[in-house]
Structure 1
Amino acid sequence: MASASPPLGLSPPFKKSRIGCSPSVFPASGFEVIDPNLLVEEERLPTYDRTNYYPMRIGDIVDGHYQVVAKLGYGGSSTVWLARDLNKERLYRALKVHVHNAPYYHELSVYEHLKKPIQQEIDDKDTHPGRDHVRQLDDVFMIDGPHGQHAVFVMVPLGMSLATMQTGQQTGAFQPIFVTQALSQALLGLALLHSADLIHTDLHADNLLIALTDESILSTIEESEITKPSPRKQIGGDTTIHVSQYVFGGAGPLTISDLGQARIGRTQTDKAMPIQYRAPEVILGMPWGTPVDMWSAGMLVWTLLEPKSLFHVYDMASPELNDAHHLAAMTSLLGPPPKEFRDRSEESSKYWDEQGNWQGPVPLPPKTSLADLVTTLQGEQKALFVDLLECLLTWLPEGRLTADQTYFHPWLRGDDENGDQES
């Protein structure tokens, strides 16, 4: 029976390729067997359903020429695996294997949209510098699982995330010079996305990965799975839950990853963003656009530089009360929103009266300021940092700096004028 044409250049699931080099042989024993009663990796996720995930095993060969050599990570809609391309000597790729019921077409459409040249590239006849800082999609294919088909995204492997790296910092935060470099690179990526009419909506330290400059790190991971295989858990006869390996090292560009929550178009109206990073216009159901990513940039730079969170989640059991706590904390920190902002949503009357006074269902925290909360900087550097935050964490979206404008802020570009930013 003839199969339907795959969407957006999707490789057909029956594609087979000639194997050009021998696959590795992985041990069937010698690894730690995890107690079946313990929850491991993706099993810990609140929405986990084993039947949705493809039962990948280290050593499997998929699409005819990718041999899976290690597990790299997991999430609510996919697992990520390191694979060696047997058609190309020592070439490694990351395989993002979606759950069979994942709406992967949206993410695929975002990657396809991103491939198109933006107007600046057409005008300048040159590649936008942000392309080095946004993850690209190499290929897509399908594999058949016991409960349905799974889309597999093929990408260049990346190193650890900033969030993972931050857990190894003694103070729980990075040095200022590192933060300025990281934010500068993230802003280049955001500038590209925004020029392409894409809104990421999910910018945080977990989704910023450091690119690799030496693939020998990946060879070491493969060899480790052969000589000292990672722990795993067996469920029945058809599912193995492998423990992920971190890709330590990497000195390449910081790369914005995970475009699954990105939106195409300049104006959106649905709910988006992780709760703790959510911009006020999204909380209040207003139309929103690229400025939500700039709010995220402000939250990101705070998270990287300061050991304590700026806003806290107070009530996960009640989204409505949590929104109230969130908006109350914003009001305490930023002052009441201007009437121009409040008038954009009928929801505003739940939280502020006509004069902008707080009347929400939760108490207003004691008034504070960004300057009072900064602990890692002093003097001129602290003043410049607070100024940057005040340009990003503003009620009015149109009042926030763009990615391009933020890139040239004195706190990021002021090294020569202001001296060592580690002072």
Structure 2
Amino acid sequence: MIESPGINELFEQAPSKVFVSSDVTLPPPDDFYIGSHEFCAGDEDITESSELSVRLADFGTSSWFDNHLTEWIQPAMLRAPEVTLGADWDHKVDIWNLGLVVWELTQGAVLFDGSWTPQDPYTGEAQLAQMTSLLGAFPKSLLSRSRECDRYFTSDGNLLKPSTFGSLCLNDMCKNRLNCDMSDSDRADFLDFIMAMIRLDPAERPDAKTLLGHKWIQEA
């Protein structure tokens, strides 16, 4: 969502009918969660703004941690592996999402599109194969608690449908992007930031507070 005067005013006026107070007491403007509300700022000319800011605010497939609306969450191309595999999930799925969104915004390409070829549709099998080609074998600790494990993996943890992607390297993928104008040092910090968020084991992904202290963020 592009920030604009109208949208900023919407957030500054909280709590209002757009926002519903939560049971947790937090300092404003954090003492609310967003309820269903249509808001359009299409009449505003954001091209005249001297500064352009972006607020991440897509709640289309969101859910509560303690009261799951569904276990099948997240857009397909941003879906965390534990969701695809039917394992229990928590806030670390958002960290996975953030890593993929930051990659897409900076590189202009989806990291795990879930397609065997550019002409093929998305499948969970292809997406898991892409993850394996880049990140290595799935940890047994995740597979052992995954309700859909037998759908994708053999009993010894190998993919039922072998990967055709070969061995992928995030550094090479970054250098090959036309819009990757980074120094070697900046690219190393950027890749470390991304890799921290897309660990296959959710327990190994840092929380948001830790990520704020990452060198790539601090020196941006």
**Out of 144, 150, 170, which is 1:343 matched to?**
144
Which of 91, 98, 103 is equivalent to 1:302?
Answer: 103
Q: CA deviation at 1:294?
A: 0.6
Structure 1 residues 213-292: aligned runs within 5 Å: 218=43, 247-250=46-49, 251=51, 254-266=54-66, 268=68, 270-292=71-93
* Distance in structure 2 (CA, Å) of the matches to 1:259 and 1:113: 17
**Contact persistence 2:77–2:113 (CA under 8 A):** yes
SS at match of 1:255: coil
The verdict on how the C-alpha distance between 1:323 and 1:404 changes in structure 2, with shifts beyond 3 A counting, is: same
Other-structure match for 1:77: none
Shift of residue 385, structure 1, vs aligned partner: 1.2
**For this pair of structures, how many residues does the alignment match?**
198
1:368 counterpart (168, 174, 184): 168
Q: Is the 8 A contact 2:114 2:128 kept in 1?
A: no
Residue 199 of structure 2 corresponds to 394
Taking the aligned partners of 1:405 and 1:158, their CA distance within structure 2 comes to 34
Whose strand fraction is larger, Structure 1's or Structure 2's? 1
Change (3 A) 1:323 1:113: farther
Deviation per residue, 1:58-108 (Å, 9 max, x gap): xxxxxxxxxxxxxxxxxxxxxxxxx9xxxxxxxx98xxxxxxxxxxxxxxx
* 1:135–1:256 Cα contact (<8 Å) kept: no
Q: CA deviation at 1:313?
A: 3.8
Quick one: which amino acid aligns to residue 386 of structure 1?
L
Q: Secondary structure at the match of 2:100?
A: helix
Deviation at 1:311, TM superposition (A): 1.7
Tell me how far apart the structure 2 counterparts of residues 158 and 136 of structure 1 sit (CA, whole Å).
17
Change (3 A) 1:115 1:260: farther
Question: CA offsets per residue over residues 229-262 of structure 1, 9 Å max, x none?
Answer: xxxxxxxxxxxxxxxxx75444365323243432
Q: C-alpha displacement at 1:324, in angstroms?
A: 0.3
User: In the alignment, which residue of structure 2 is the partner of 1:412?
Assistant: 217
RMSD: 3.6
Q: Secondary structure at the match of 1:270?
A: coil
2:125 pairs with 313, 317, 324, which one?
324
Q: Assess if the C-alpha contact under 8 Å between 1:135 and 1:257 holds in 2.
A: no
| Conserved 8 A contact 1:285-1:345 | yes
Cα distance between partner residues in 1 of 2:174 and 2:60: 33
One-letter identity of the residue aligned with 2:212: Y
Q: Which segments of 5 or more consecutive residues in structure 1 lack a partner in the other structure? A: 1-82, 84-91, 94-108, 122-126, 138-150, 160-217, 222-245, 416-423
Identity %: 26
- Which residue is 1:47 aligned to? none
Specify the alignment match of 1:112 in structure 2: 20
Distance across 1 between alignment mates of 2:198 and 2:212: 16
| CA distance in 2 between partners of 1:258 and 1:111 (Å) | 15
TM-score by length of 1: 0.41
DSSP-derived class of the 2:83 partner: helix
Structure 2 counterpart SS, 1:411 = helix
Larger radius of gyration: 1
Residues 313 and 342 of structure 1: is their aligned pair in 2 closer, same or farther, counting only changes over 3 Å? closer
- Deviation per residue, 1:256-281 (Å, 9 max, x gap): 32434321234746101111111101
**1:267, 1:287 within 8 Å by CA — same for their partners in 2?**
no
Amino acid aligned to 2:214: H
Assess, with a 3 A threshold, how the Cα gap between structure 1 residues 405 and 340 changes in structure 2: closer, same or farther.
Answer: same
Give me the TM-score of the superposition, normalised by structure 2.
Answer: 0.73
SS at match of 1:295: helix
* Aligned residue runs from structure 1 range 151-230, under 5 A: 153=37, 218=43
Q: Which amino acid aligns with 1:401?
A: P
Q: Give structure 1 regions of 4+ aligned residues with deviation exceeding 6 angstroms.
A: none
